[in-house]
Structure 1
Amino acid sequence: MDKLMPQIESHIDFFLREKLPKSMPMVAMLIGDKTIGQIKEVFVSEISVLFPQLIGQYADGLLEDDRLYPMLTEKLQSAAVYSYISGTQSKLKGLFSKVKWGALVFGLIYGLLIGLIAA
């Protein structure tokens, strides 16, 4: 929410200073910078309370939607990412096996060298 507030404030400011005078010239003649600042403060405080509630309600509605889970499952299974990850995993298994054997051989040779030098 903190990251969104500067952008929200700029939109409110643009609305109060640009759009409102064009659509309601009489109101624009009655309010000045101080009044615009006060209105902006009220809007920003109200949005900071209202926005998290709206997002929470929207997310709850998405979770309760019975169509969402099958649709997400279908999209994930058919995605190229799924096939890429499974292909990458099989390639990495072979690489890790080679690394393990290489580390074992290196450890044996290193241990033997240290044993020979110490003796």
Structure 2
Amino acid sequence: MPESKKSKFTRKKKVVYDRVRFTLPDLFDDDAEFNLPSARQVPLGVQRKLNSEPGAMENWLIENLMGDDIEDQRTAIDELSGEEIREFVKTWQKASKADAGKSSR
């Protein structure tokens, strides 16, 4: 078997996302806190997939939830619809100090 070459572009360190925490008091109890990676750190690969792969952003969010209540957070996100989703994203971006449609760089 040929020996596989190690990529020159292998990360030296695992990516660690800044965390943001926020609540949606109009929808959930005051202590229902989402714990997500910062919207400013959404990988370029996820951003590229937004138009071609529905759910790319949601899948990335779900994969990167943290806290003692990951399943509860996942269920709450999955049950959002319409205006609730817009409010969720707006609040997440605000907590991340990221403006919609603008790069963080």
TM range (shorter): under 0.3
| Higher helix residue share | 1
TM-score normalized with structure 1 length: 0.23
| Higher strand residue share | 2
